[in-house]
Structure 1
Amino acid sequence: MDESSLFAKRLKEERKRLGLSQAQAGEAVGVSREMWGKYERGAMPGGDVFIALKKAGFDVPTILAGSNRLDVSISPHEMALIDRYRRSHKDVQRGVDALLAATVNEEEEK
């Protein structure tokens, strides 16, 4: 299997992991469903599409290299939460950490 076929296969797998149709994936990165279909058949997108893929929650290193992802799936919602957490003030991060720690401890005691 050549590199473009492997890329196409991994791109399709990543789209399905995120639960997106071809039309939704294309919309997320600013291309038509038809163009997205070409990518899934081996056409190589430009750099702007790779940037948009990353912003939309796609695991770009895995799409390109095939072996970078952990066995943990992160939804676009979770990616947005992580992004907001990282951009928040340190005091807010500490508060979130404390709240989650208290919640997890309560759940573990049940």
Structure 2
Amino acid sequence: MNNFPLRLRQERRRLGINQADFGSAGGVLKQAQSNYEKGLRYPDASYLAGIAEIGVDVLYLLTGRTSDPATLALDPDEELLIAGYRELKPREKKGVLGLLAATIGAHEAEADTGEPGPG
């Protein structure tokens, strides 16, 4: 359950629900919800059943694999990258995308010419 807190926060944000209301759906107070999202505590089955009722993908929370077979499962590094990216401010996101574009461009140049790309 190493990425459980991260996935829980992602699901709450995906649904656009604040911590107090999300926790309430699971039968807990905002402080308990905060502790779950920080990885300080882990919820019980009744909490999971409650949040499933509001649209949370509990299989994703527990395993990192979605219940929708059409959705591509991410490996833990990809999951961490995406979650971290979502936490960034717009300017920081732009920097990360620039770095990614430069890195991909360097790899494409290397593939095209057989020589290292710029950078």
* AA of the residue aligned to 1:64: L
Q: Could you state the TM-score of these two structures normalised by the residue count of structure 1?
A: 0.57
- Tell me the CA shift for residue 69 of structure 1: 4.4
The answer as to 2:25 corresponding to 1:25 is no
Q: Could you state the TM-score of these two structures normalised by the residue count of structure 2?
A: 0.53
Q: Secondary structure at the match of 2:47?
A: helix
Uncovered stretches (5+) of structure 1, i.e. residues with no partner:
72-110
Q: Bigger relative contact order, structure 1 or 2, given CA contacts below 8 A and separation 6+?
A: 1
The answer as to 2:60 corresponding to 1:58 is no
Task: Name the CA distance, whole Å, in 1 between partners of 2:27 and 2:4.
Answer: 19
Could you tell me which residue of structure 2 aligns to residue 47 of structure 1? 45
Uncovered stretches (5+) of structure 2, i.e. residues with no partner:
72-119
Task: Name the CA distance, whole Å, in 1 between partners of 2:57 and 2:43.
Answer: 15
* AA of the residue aligned to 2:21: Q
Task: Name the CA distance, whole Å, in 1 between partners of 2:26 and 2:48.
Answer: 8
Q: Is the 8 A contact 1:29 1:56 kept in 2?
A: no
Structure 1 or 2, whichever has the larger Rg, is 2
Give percent identity, aligned residues only.
34
After TM superposition, where is structure 1 displaced by more than 2 Å over at least 4 residues in a row? none
Q: Is the 8 A contact 1:12 1:40 kept in 2?
A: yes
